Structure 1
Amino acid sequence: MMSPKPNILIYSPDQADSYAECIRGYGFSSVKAASTVEEAEKYLPGTEVILAWKFPTQLLHKPIASSVRWFQSMGAGVDDLASDTHIPENIILTRIVDQFGGYISEYVFTYLLYLVKDVPRMSKAQLERRWDPFISETLAGKTIGIAGLGSIGAEIVRKARSFDMNVYGLSFSGKQAELVDRHFASDEWKVFVKEIDYLVLTLPLTKATHHVVNRDVLLAMKPESAIINVGRGALINEKELLAVMRSGHLQGAVLDVFETEPLPKGHPFWEMPHVYVTSHLSGPSTRDGVSRFFVDNLNRYLNKQPLQGLVDRKRGY
């Protein structure tokens, strides 16, 4: 039998009202919207469920938050929330899953094609009004290595197959090893990257993955290979990547995530040749997509069914 509908608090610095309107459209009327700490404090008493982005978690240890039972993040990456001691252990923590594979895989292949077809050369020839016919390379037969074989990594694998690429994968659990041509464990990084043409990072950030891509791993890659990071910024030791790129060892580095965001204006990445900087945009959390996921999870919650995207705080994701 379904439980009574809970009091829901939507928190977002700039989209709270829009999200709240969307959730109400699914038939949930007890929904409050907050975009400031003061508003969150006002609406927390009696709140059972929170859907939030950049929530002021220090409030969750206060008596006003004693009724909170479940916290749904609007994002996929929850390394900050998983390690946040302000969130009491009795609060269920979930993240968005299976929402970003399409977006992020298209981003990855935008840059793979940009590189393999040498789009910069074509653009330069047009600007110079210079006829420059040449034979570009193809992705077919190239080897892509995907570190992280969750829903995002799996979708990149699927698209790589359509381009007739060889697909290697590295994961910590090995649960999706059958998706790839060769699978590597988390202690086999150097062997994993040795033969690949493109390394794509989709891993979550944990203690085990912090700076897991360091100088040794980068130098183990082929000089003509490239790296794409759509996971978390701190997966890569940025100082060591800078040094390797300056040495000319890699063909390119496509970076959508960074240790410090926004990336400081004075950072060398902005102007470094063969480094492509984007503003953490490869996997957007859309209002409609997140709302649909939340409502599905909300119905699971009300019917006492297992929630999607349940976070293991010890694991970090």
Structure 2
Amino acid sequence: MKLSQPNILVYDPNHAEEYAESVRESGFTAARAATTYEEAEKFLPGTEVILGWKFPTELLSSPNASSVRWFQSMGAGVNDLVTDSSIPEDILLTRIVDQFGTYISEYVFAYLLHIVKDVPRMRQAQTGRKWDSFLSDTLAAKTIGVAGLGSIGVEIVRKARAFDLKVHGLSFSGKNAKIVDHHFTSNQWRDFVKDLDFLILTLPLTNETYHVINRDILYAMKPESCLVNVGRGALIAENDLQAVLKDGHLKAAVLDVFETEPLPKDHDFYSLPNVYVTSHLSGPSTVAGVTQFFADNLKRYLNQQTLLGIVDRKRGY
């Protein structure tokens, strides 16, 4: 076991002190907060562990960062860190895992029900003081496809069962293949999407998944199917998606993530009637949740145990 607590630097442009105080309350008192480049540079000497979000990573290749051994990201997505050549190879990277399934699955089904039950029509009738007694659709017996069967995808599958959906899944490892009715691998995208009513993307962004949803895959989907992206924006070739939507193919696209964030105000996605845009909010990192994960990992670190959420840089997540 390590004999002393490591010096911890908590970096977040907006909430660093809140996170740092929560870390201290967890029993790790050697935690300092930084919100700017200058503060991070000042506190780096002697720092062994970083808990960070939007950290100025160029500092990690400076002499001031020679004591850093471990970088814990506050989020689940780490494609920016994995591709960052300024982070030395000997710094261990970890990400948050197993925390976002509840939030993101609720987001997904909020929109699926909104679309299937035609909530906009109901609201329009109320606003117009009109008695519009129409027959809405149901999720039951429709087919949902979940691309990415990690902890988030698993929770979406679990909730899909409650709505009596048929469940298809696509994953690279096949580890959770048994939880879906039909499993597909990464070389079976067209077969995977062709029968789906709903395609849900929860994949990480890697070289293999960059723009994996392109014009060919989108047109392989049924014209009345819906696409939901809660993974990473660059999973989708956005120009292709715009063209497909304007062509009237696909009933709806629910997009919480984008290649450029914030989404530019003049982007067509805002005005397309069959697109739902949200501000990367489906899976929030909370102070309590992040701190608990980090504290648990710190205990593992002190006991020289394998950490949770270790990032495989070759795999990309």
TM-score normalised by the chain length of structure 1: 0.99
Correspondence for 1:212: 212
Correspondence for 1:94: 94
Correspondence for 2:309: 309
Correspondence for 2:296: 296
Correspondence for 1:116: 116
Partners in 2 of 1:29 and 1:158 — Cα distance?
39
Partners in 1 of 2:186 and 2:42 — Cα distance?
46
Q: How does 1:135-150 map to 2 (within 5 A)?
A: 135-150=135-150
1:9 aligns with 2:9: yes
Correspondence for 1:39: 39
Correspondence for 1:252: 252
Correspondence for 1:170: 170
Correspondence for 1:242: 242
The question of whether the paired residues in 2 share the 8 Å contact of 1:51 and 1:73 is answered with yes
Correspondence for 2:284: 284
3-state SS, counterpart of residue 223 of structure 2: coil
The question of whether the paired residues in 2 share the 8 Å contact of 1:96 and 1:309 is answered with yes
1:76 aligns with 2:95: no
For residue 213 of structure 2, what is the amino acid of its counterpart? V
Q: Cα deviation per residue 1:45-101 (whole Å; 9 max; x = unaligned)? A: 000000000000000011110000000000000000011111100000000000100
Partners in 1 of 2:152 and 2:224 — Cα distance?
25
For residue 248 of structure 1, what is the amino acid of its counterpart? G
3-state SS, counterpart of residue 81 of structure 1: helix
1:191 aligns with 2:191: yes
Q: Cα deviation per residue 1:171-222 (whole Å; 9 max; x = unaligned)? A: 0111110010000000101100010100000000000000000001000101
Displacement after TM superposition at 1:2 (Å): 4.2
Correspondence for 2:270: 270
For residue 185 of structure 1, what is the amino acid of its counterpart? T
Displacement after TM superposition at 1:3 (Å): 3.1
Correspondence for 2:130: 130
For residue 230 of structure 2, what is the amino acid of its counterpart? V
For residue 199 of structure 2, what is the amino acid of its counterpart? L
Unpaired runs of 5+ residues, structure 1, are none
The question of whether the paired residues in 2 share the 8 Å contact of 1:93 and 1:310 is answered with yes
Segments ≥4 residues shifted beyond 3 Å:
none
RMSD: 0.6
Q: How does 1:41-56 map to 2 (within 5 A)?
A: 41-56=41-56
Partners in 1 of 2:83 and 2:237 — Cα distance?
21
3-state SS, counterpart of residue 72 of structure 1: strand
- The number of residue pairs the alignment matches comes to 317
Partners in 1 of 2:27 and 2:195 — Cα distance?
53
Displacement after TM superposition at 1:134 (Å): 1.1
Q: Cα deviation per residue 1:133-158 (whole Å; 9 max; x = unaligned)? A: 01111111010000000000000000
The question of whether the paired residues in 2 share the 8 Å contact of 1:7 and 1:31 is answered with yes
Unpaired runs of 5+ residues, structure 2, are none
TM-score normalised by the chain length of structure 2: 0.99
